[in-house]
Structure 1
Amino acid sequence: MQKRSGEAVAERRTLRSRLGKVFLDTRPLRYPAYRRLWLSNIVTSVGAQVSSVAVPKQVYDLTGSSAYVGLAGLFGLVPLLVFGLWGGAIADTVDRRRLLLVTNGGLAVTAVLLWLVAAAGVPSVWLVLVLFAAQQTFFAVNMPTRGAAIARLLPLHLLPSAQALGTTVFQLGAITGPLLAGMLLPLLGLPALYLIDAIALCAALWAVLRLPPLPPNEGAPARAGLRSILDGFRYLTLHKVLLASFLMDIIAMVFGMPRALFPEMAERTFGDPPGGGVALGLLFAAIPLGAFVFGVLSGWLHRVQRHGVGVTVGVVAWGVAVIGFGMSDALWPAVLFLAVGGGADLVSMVYRSAMLQAAATDEMRGRMQGVFTVVVAGGPRLADVLHGAGGAVVGTGAAVAGGGALVVFFAILAVFCLPAFWRYRAPQESDEPAEKANAE
């Protein structure tokens, strides 16, 4: 009887081991502090996507003008660019747990204020835009602070798995947030979306409250001014591996993100009726859906030690997928190419984020995460301008395929010019957490 019981236990362990090689590596969730931070990330990312639907809808309802909706995008982008950098500098000078409490509290307060404005029917579009800008300011400081905290909560060898968990959650938010908003909007109304977001953010605030203190280490800057930000850029230029990781992301997104051409391609290439249809929704959903599926099946990522190689392969695969999308005349192959591209982008992002966490010193992690936030936010928006202009000049298919080819060319050129990036290996495995405070 005991023999059979032992065999059953051994079989279960073997099955778990095999599944762990395929599915998402959940070992980082064994660390209580990281688990709390990760759970709060779920709420924050889904809430951000809900707001990205609710605010444009409210602005359009108030004005009836798409120009004002575009202005809302500008009110969201400028704080993200400015305070992403400054927020990273702040994260290097103060207790990161305390800063997360302040910024999460700010996100919750602005969500409550947006709810009050919508519920009271206040007809001021400028008030909505100002509150949205304030919310994005808190978000811009919150994101690099969260990123900089991860390496203090986990052993370095688990960083790729942690980044896969975080990226998968982000992609899940990109899918479920808009869908949730779209379903609840006709049922509950616009004010209810803001109220749900506010309640969820209060729950996230409770999770952050239970994190251990994360004070700055010795050698951290005393204040977060312009000099501190410039020191971060100086540090970046002296560390070629970090510089190359940002350069790879810029190459992939600026030349290879074709979303500005989705509306025209949906109608003229894939047969959507004027005003939008199924093809448009599938094109926008394909990249995050592919990234999410690859994230769920990312159990193998942590076994790759050559992170520079992993980033390069991911970026080149993204470029090839974009070429395939640009050359597609039928909808389903086009969606498949975009989904594969989303998976390749997830692989690249996981390794880039892990390199950023491991290669940067703790007193610089906040500023590096701030640069990361700006690159991630700014690259696709610059791509919108380039692809929009390129599509008008040479046609949508040629602009997309040409952009993908440029991604492949410049990625290979970057690795050739910065060979240290290609040779970069992950830190050796250690069972000790970065911070003893991560204990229960």
Structure 2
Amino acid sequence: MDIFKNRNFMAMFLGRIITNIGDSLYMVAAVWLVYDLSGSTFYTGLAGFLSIIPRVIQFLSGPLIDKLPIKSILVYTQLIQALLLLIIPTAAYFNVLNVTLVLIITPILSTLNMFVYPAQIAALPKIVNEDQLTKGNSLFSIAYQGIDIVCNSVAGTLIVLIGATSLYTLDSMTFLIGAIIFSFIKLPKAKKEVQQTKKSISVSIKNYGADLREGVKIIGHSALSRLLFGIIVVNLVIGAIFAVLPAFSDRNGGPEMYGLLLMAGAIGGLIGAFSVTPLKLEKIPLGKLYAGAFLLAGLAWALSIFTPWLWLTIAVYGFAWIPGGATNVIIFTVIQKGVPKQLIGRVTSISIALSGIAAPLGGLLGGSLGVFTSSSVIIFFAGLAVVIVGVYWILDSTTRNLPSTEVIDESLFGFDEDKRIPQSPSITL
């Protein structure tokens, strides 16, 4: 592929792979370690809450990503995470490891990650041509899902063989390697950008509020806000499912089952990412695509608990993640095509923050309910809630009439030729 001849893209792509290895192993190790130390779904729900809560404030990273050097953001966040991860195995060595320490480190690591992925999305239009954006996003998503497949498939076995704390040491090494790879990225800069870099921090602080309000206004004025409402509910559901998944797995095979379920979800997401181009999903109207996709996802989640065989449970659960893998590729392409390059960072971070705002609450809710009822019941009603979201998108005319990704331009977000937000955007709510 021509895109792989781009050295900047290769560095970004390889760095993403290494970073995702660390993220995947860490998340499996963290959630299982919390469950192993506490034996309670409440604490796994709390761990999920703390790992996702930084998304609520992720919109705050947008203006900084648009102002600060992206390369520095990527390198230094990896180095800091490498150091923080070593705290867990060190505490275990001195026999002072407890649930509280794991819960304290979890949101710090997640906060650092809230800069990494929006920064990568913001950098992509700067290093590839516009006609390569969908391919680049698809490759990023495939890398993300592919690494999840590999890591989740072996994580359960690694926990049994070497223990969850040892995975933290391995994670630390991967983040260090990621920092080294990201250091080879050379983003193009105009003379004006070079001059502004020296004053970027002071300028960012001074204009922070205005930049933030502008990003929120962009999202609020677009017809995508209806989609966003439904995605908030979907993320609430996902948070609840992940909170009870360790308990569900523990009753159906232990850490190996947990790893297999996570692997199945990653395979589903990878299939979805691969399907975007072959199925020409860019040609399908955005609202109809989302409605149909998440109707299927909700049904699969709800039905997964009724299967008579564990292998079929794993397969149906994995199928539920196929729609999300496809729509993740699509939505980032929509933002990159519909928003001027200098604003992509804040719009991406705000959209991720708003879409993920319910996930921490979902984790707390699912974990708390798991104390009183079975994990299977929670997973069933979670899937049912996603079905209702799909029906809502079908019935809502604004969502149903959204254009396809193929024809989306900056008018969807309310920009005129001067790249300003008009008083009356071309598509409003």
Tell me how far apart the structure 2 counterparts of residues 119 and 265 of structure 1 sit (CA, whole Å). Answer: 27
Aligned to 2:186, the other structure's residue is in SS state: coil
Tell me how far apart the structure 1 counterparts of residues 335 and 272 of structure 2 sit (CA, whole Å). Answer: 21
Match of 2:293 among 309, 317, 329: 317
Write out per-residue CA displacement over residues 177-216 of structure 1, whole angstroms, 9 at most, x where no aligned residue: 3333322334334443222111111111111111113669
| Residue 200 of structure 2 corresponds to residue 232 of structure 1 | no
Match of 1:246 among 228, 238, 245: 228
Tell me how far apart the structure 1 counterparts of residues 281 and 231 of structure 2 sit (CA, whole Å). Answer: 19
2:54 maps to 79
Contact 1:46 1:174 in 2 (8 A): yes
Output aligned runs, 1:177-216, within 5 Å.
177-213=151-187
Deviation at 1:336, TM superposition (A): 4.6
Tell me how far apart the structure 2 counterparts of residues 281 and 35 of structure 1 sit (CA, whole Å). Answer: 29
Equivalent position amino acid for 1:292 in 2: L
Aligned to 1:210, the other structure's residue is in SS state: coil
| Residue 143 of structure 2 corresponds to residue 169 of structure 1 | yes
Write out per-residue CA displacement over residues 25-81 of structure 1, whole angstroms, 9 at most, x where no aligned residue: x55333221111111111111211211233345445656665444433333233342
Aligned to 2:72, the other structure's residue is in SS state: helix
| Residue 264 of structure 2 corresponds to residue 290 of structure 1 | no
Write out per-residue CA displacement over residues 198-241 of structure 1, whole angstroms, 9 at most, x where no aligned residue: 11111111111111136698799931534432221012223335
2:415 maps to none
Contact 2:145 2:267 in 1 (8 A): yes
1:405 maps to 387
* CA spacing shift, 1:255–1:117, aligned 2, 3 Å: closer
Equivalent position amino acid for 2:185 in 1: L
Answer with 174-183 or 358-367: which moved more: 174-183
Tell me how far apart the structure 2 counterparts of residues 58 and 341 of structure 1 sit (CA, whole Å). Answer: 26
Answer with 112-121 or 248-257: which moved more: 248-257
Tell me how far apart the structure 1 counterparts of residues 105 and 243 of structure 2 sit (CA, whole Å). Answer: 30
Deviation at 1:355, TM superposition (A): 0.6
Equivalent position amino acid for 1:234 in 2: K
1:19 maps to none
Tell me how far apart the structure 1 counterparts of residues 39 and 282 of structure 2 sit (CA, whole Å). Answer: 53
> Gaps (5+ residues) in structure 2?
410-429
Tell me how far apart the structure 2 counterparts of residues 64 and 333 of structure 1 sit (CA, whole Å). Answer: 27
Answer with 111-120 or 88-97: which moved more: 111-120
Tell me how far apart the structure 1 counterparts of residues 331 and 289 of structure 2 sit (CA, whole Å). Answer: 12
Tell me how far apart the structure 2 counterparts of residues 256 and 205 of structure 1 sit (CA, whole Å). Answer: 30
1:349 maps to 328
1:364 maps to 343
Deviation at 1:152, TM superposition (A): 1.1
Tell me how far apart the structure 1 counterparts of residues 103 and 238 of structure 2 sit (CA, whole Å). Answer: 30
Contact 1:96 1:215 in 2 (8 A): no
Q: Taking structure 1 as the reference length, what is the TM-score of the superposition?
A: 0.74
Deviation at 1:380, TM superposition (A): 4.3
* CA spacing shift, 1:73–1:231, aligned 2, 3 Å: same
Count of residue correspondences: 394
Contact 1:287 1:341 in 2 (8 A): yes
Equivalent position amino acid for 2:220 in 1: T
Contact 1:174 1:288 in 2 (8 A): yes
Tell me how far apart the structure 2 counterparts of residues 60 and 316 of structure 1 sit (CA, whole Å). Answer: 35
Aligned to 2:86, the other structure's residue is in SS state: helix
* CA spacing shift, 1:125–1:215, aligned 2, 3 Å: farther
Instruction: Give the fraction of aligned pairs with identical amino acids, expressed as a percent.
Output: 18
Aligned to 1:76, the other structure's residue is in SS state: helix
Tell me how far apart the structure 1 counterparts of residues 18 and 295 of structure 2 sit (CA, whole Å). Answer: 32
Contact 2:307 2:313 in 1 (8 A): yes
* CA spacing shift, 1:361–1:167, aligned 2, 3 Å: same
1:146 maps to 120
Contact 1:291 1:343 in 2 (8 A): yes
Aligned to 1:421, the other structure's residue is in SS state: coil
Answer with 361-370 or 65-74: which moved more: 65-74
* CA spacing shift, 1:247–1:105, aligned 2, 3 Å: same
Match of 2:16 among 37, 41, 44: 41
Aligned to 1:207, the other structure's residue is in SS state: helix
Write out per-residue CA displacement over residues 383-407 of structure 1, whole angstroms, 9 at most, x where no aligned residue: 55778879979x6687356424312
Deviation at 1:327, TM superposition (A): 4.9
Tell me how far apart the structure 2 counterparts of residues 188 and 278 of structure 1 sit (CA, whole Å). Answer: 13
Tell me how far apart the structure 1 counterparts of residues 28 and 123 of structure 2 sit (CA, whole Å). Answer: 29
Deviation at 1:116, TM superposition (A): 3.0
Equivalent position amino acid for 2:268 in 1: G
Equivalent position amino acid for 1:259 in 2: I
Computing the radius of gyration from Cα coordinates, the structure with the larger value is 1
Aligned to 1:378, the other structure's residue is in SS state: coil
Tell me how far apart the structure 1 counterparts of residues 334 and 322 of structure 2 sit (CA, whole Å). Answer: 19
Write out per-residue CA displacement over residues 1-40 of structure 1, whole angstroms, 9 at most, x where no aligned residue: xxxxxxxxxxxxxxxxxxxxxxxxx553332211111111
Contact 1:76 1:132 in 2 (8 A): yes
1:95 maps to 69
Aligned to 2:126, the other structure's residue is in SS state: coil
Deviation at 1:247, TM superposition (A): 4.2
Contact 2:215 2:343 in 1 (8 A): yes
Contact 2:270 2:322 in 1 (8 A): yes
> Considering only aligned residues, what root-mean-square deviation do their CA atoms show, in Å?
4.0
| Residue 85 of structure 2 corresponds to residue 111 of structure 1 | yes
Answer with 382-391 or 368-377: which moved more: 382-391
Contact 1:42 1:169 in 2 (8 A): yes
| Residue 241 of structure 2 corresponds to residue 259 of structure 1 | yes
* CA spacing shift, 1:357–1:114, aligned 2, 3 Å: farther
Equivalent position amino acid for 2:155 in 1: A
* CA spacing shift, 1:247–1:155, aligned 2, 3 Å: farther
